[in-house]
Amino acid sequence: MNNPELLYAATVILLRDSPNGVEVLLQERSGKSESFSGAFVFPGGKVDLHDADKEYEALYSGHTDKDASAILGMPKYGLAYWMGGIRECFEEAGILLAYDKSGKIVSFNSPEVKQRFVDYRAALNKGEMSLLEICRKEELTLATDQMFYYSHWVTPIVMPRRFDTRFFICRAPAEQEPIIDNHEVVSQCWVNPAEALRKRKEEGFQIFFPTIKNIQGLTGHEQSQSLLDAVAQFRDLPRILPIKAEKEGAPPLIPGDEGYEHHEVATPHY
């Protein structure tokens, strides 16, 4: 991954079932955040070469780098995106997508266990501990088999700060609750996708274009399982690179929109 123009990133769409139907976790970015200040986004952030460490591969459930890379359409390092998504999810939301040594998703129901992982999260955010060290200490296996590849977005070429982002979707662990870090994230909410779109339109709920489009694809499902079953069938997902519409005030164009095909778009190199 050596394209100097792009930062590689992974985003995780966390789902839960509620009386309101499927809900997603959205987090409000603070003014201290490097990107998306003031907007509601899914947990996520940059992927780096540490996330491609071969030592992690033994801790993944259901993937090798070869098959992960094939899913993403990359020659190598695909597993780093799953790893980066899990790490960012823990750093930003306090949600750890991992199995304990008994093979069950980690539970924070015990106050003692919960505090231990709060401390791990703090150490991870300070750079005092790696996720690899946490996994070894707690005998964890990362739940990559729970994460389904959902979409691939690239920041428009005209933007000064650009991301090549893979979106994943996963059911949130039942016995964990998200906790904001009060640094990059200042508030959060669980919200039905259709309600999030309504709040944006009628109440000024700030959501950027890629998040809007990803949320639109989540509507129409009453249960998270039917949504995950549908996403699990996705194959050969296209890269979506928005371009500015010629009409002033119109939303960006994406592949499939009329007029998009007339623009020459560069392809990122890995």
Tell me what pLDDT residue 32 has.
60
Q: Is the pLDDT of residue 264 over 90?
A: no
Segments of the chain assigned E as strands: 7-18, 21-29, 40-41, 44-46, 98-99, 141-142, 148-154, 163-171, 185-191, 239-240
Q: Is the pLDDT of residue 270 over 60?
A: no
d(CA 265, CA 250): 20
Say what the pTM is: 0.91
Count of C-beta atoms within a 10 Å radius of residue 174: 11
The 10s digit of each residue's pLDDT in 157-205 is 877 788 999 999 999 999 999 999 878 899 999 999 999 999 999 998 9
Give every CB contact of residue 138 below 8 A, 6+ residues apart in sequence.
100, 101, 106
Tell me what pLDDT residue 263 has.
64
d(CA 240, CA 164): 10
- Three-class DSSP category at 131: helix
Residues in the chain: 270
Superfamily the domain 7-262 falls into: Nucleoside Triphosphate Pyrophosphohydrolase (3.90.79.10)
Count of C-beta atoms within a 10 Å radius of residue 266: 9
The domain segmentation of the chain, as residue ranges, is 7-262
Tell me what pLDDT residue 1 has.
45
